[in-house]
Amino acid sequence: MNELSKVEAATDTTPEPVVIPVEAYISEDYARAERDKLWRNCWLQAGRVEDLPEVGSYITYEILDDSVLIVRVAEGEAANGAEGKIKAYRNVCTHRGRRLVDTPKGERNAHGRRNNFVCGFHAWTFEIDGSCSYIQSREDWGPKLCEDVTRLGEVQIDTWGGFVWINLDPEAEPLRAYLEPAATMLDPFQLQDMRPRWRKWTIFDCNWKVALEAFDETYHVPGTHPEFTEFGDFVGWGRQQGKHSHIGYDTGDGPKENASKLRLGAGDPRVTTAQMQKYTWEGVNTNTTQTLVDVAQRLPEELPEGTSATDVLKYWLETSRQIDAERGVIWPEVDAAHVAASGTAWQIFPNQQIGHAVNNMLCYQARPCGYDPDKCIFEVAVYELYPDGEAPETQWEYADPSAFPHVLLQDFSNMAAVQQGMKMGGYAGNIPNPKAEGAVISLHRNLARYMGTGEPQELG
Ligand code: FES
Ligand SMILES: [Fe+2]
């Protein structure tokens, strides 16, 4: 088992203020070292189970020099409503090293369904179980060209939350152990039942950590999205949870579930929740659903002035739950205390955020785009629950950064500016808010364990 799995225990306390050196964001040597020290040692989220609906369905996943071919094969137990099981291979022909499945130009990854994979160079052919079934002039090699030599190399794979995860380290700890405590905290939300409403990817002129960190705190809301402060209060926390971290909102005297994603606005919650839901739906199309937006619009009429925040929240969620149930969308029952404790989103080390709720989720991922520390691939995927068989067919779509919803454009406007700012001579390092930006600190504490450098230093 990987020594790096032994991380410190979760903490709920606010850590001491620290300085994070900028090396992790801007150093070319650091970006190069990430391949062997980080990306080849972590469980990485490579796709969704529903992207592999039948035997022969495949997707690829790329991380720097490594490409993984993920295929549903016939062997094994039926699971997740689909026959067979999912396997992953090194996406390289064992003959002379041609990448076996190419990613079409302009696409995020290759995908489709095949009975086998034929190498484009000398036509060696690989079955979906990884075995090599055709070799031109095989007899020329004699008996030494055995199955062990020719079959595709296997990569560790597992599923959790409806996501497909790969790990390039053959000795990696099991996925479940790697994901804890996030997996246990998120299991009640049954993320595996959700399907994408939309998913887009783009390329930013910043390091992958800059992109991810723009979404793992709400401290930026008044500065980046000032219009949201008209109807909501966004003071929050970020806590390290082993390798991972989670974020949530302060709740003050309000309902504890207000720490989470499905939450009320400030002031008169009937009015501000209606405003906040409408603005979120139209401005960013994330974090909520049509049902929640529609019911929120009715709150000012259907509830008397002075209704307590607890009752407004209860009415909004219970009415929405019922309306959804009538159309065959069944939300999981999650204990209110658990909803509150789980917060709004989990950062899964190193490069994913899952913003969870009982009926929708918002996921961000960021990874390097080559070895240039100033570039990254950034992905946004928005999921919700659909009636059986009614989920839309979606694929990853490339979008220019300028083509995203306008609230995201506000976030995006900081990316390259942060990357450039950190390169300034004399810049002393980042000093995140120890409470509100604790997820940023957590990421760098854990990165330092893998990278052997970049440990946050005590401030002062
Ligand atoms: S490199 Fe694939 S068949 Fe030769
Ligand atoms: Fe934002």
Q: pLDDT of 67-126, one tens digit each?
A: 999 999 997 655 555 678 999 999 999 999 999 999 999 999 999 999 999 999 999 999
- pLDDT tens-digit map of 343-368: 999 999 999 999 999 999 999 999 99
In ligand 1, the atom with minimum distance to the C-alpha of 100 is: 2
Copy the structure tokens of residue 351: 């490069």
- CATH number of the domain to which 67 belongs: 2.102.10.10
pLDDT score at 393 = 93
| CB atoms inside a 10 Å sphere around CB 212 | 23
pLDDT score at 254 = 86
Give the mean pLDDT of the chain: 94
- Per-residue pLDDT, averaged over 173-177, amounts to 98
pTM exceeds cut of 0.85: yes
- pLDDT tens-digit map of 267-303: 999 999 999 999 999 999 999 999 999 999 999 999 9
Q: Is residue 145 part of a domain?
A: yes
Ligand 1 contacts CB of residue 125 (under 6 A): no
Q: Is residue 32 part of a domain?
A: no
Ligand 1 contacts CB of residue 96 (under 6 A): yes
- Per-residue pLDDT, averaged over 363-379, amounts to 98
Q: Lay out the sheet containing 360-368: strands in order across.
A: 236-241, 244-249, 345-348, 352-356, 360-368, 376-384, 195-204, 397-398
Residue 60 structural domain = 44-171
Ligand 1 contacts CB of residue 92 (under 6 A): no
Ligand 1 contacts CB of residue 134 (under 6 A): no
Q: Is residue 64 part of a domain?
A: yes
In ligand 1, the atom with minimum distance to the C-alpha of 96 is: 1
Between CA 311 and CA 269 the distance in angstroms is 10
Assess contact for 439 and 216: CB atoms under 8 A.
yes
What does 110-177 look like in DSSP terms, one character per residue?
Answer: -EEE-SEEE-TTT--EEETTS-EEE-TTGGGGGGGS-HHHHSPPEEEEEEETTEEEEES-TTPPPHHH
pLDDT score at 27 = 98
Q: Is residue 126 part of a domain?
A: yes
Lowest mean pLDDT among 142-146, 208-212, 251-255, 424-428: 251-255
In ligand 1, the atom with minimum distance to the C-alpha of 124 is: 3
∠ CA 381-384-388, nearest 5°, is: 125
Strands of 205-327, DSSP E: 236-241, 244-249
Compute, in angstroms, the gap from residue 452 CA to the centroid of ligand 2. 31
Q: Is residue 136 part of a domain?
A: yes
Tokens 């990485």 appear where? 44
Q: Is residue 49 part of a domain?
A: yes
Query: Helices (H) and strands (E) in the chain — how many of each?
Result: 14, 20
First-to-final CA distance of the chain: 38
pLDDT score at 79 = 52
Q: Is residue 152 part of a domain?
A: yes
Atom 3 of ligand 1 has which residue's CA nearest to it? Answer: 122
- Per-residue pLDDT, averaged over 253-266, amounts to 90
What does 388-456 look like in DSSP terms, one character per residue?
Answer: TT-PPP---EE--GGGS-HHHHHHHTTHHHHHHHTTSTT---B---TTTTHHHHHHHHHHHHHHS----
* Domain tally, the chain: 1
pLDDT score at 15 = 80
Q: Is residue 441 part of a domain?
A: no
Copy the structure tokens of residue 293: 């937006």
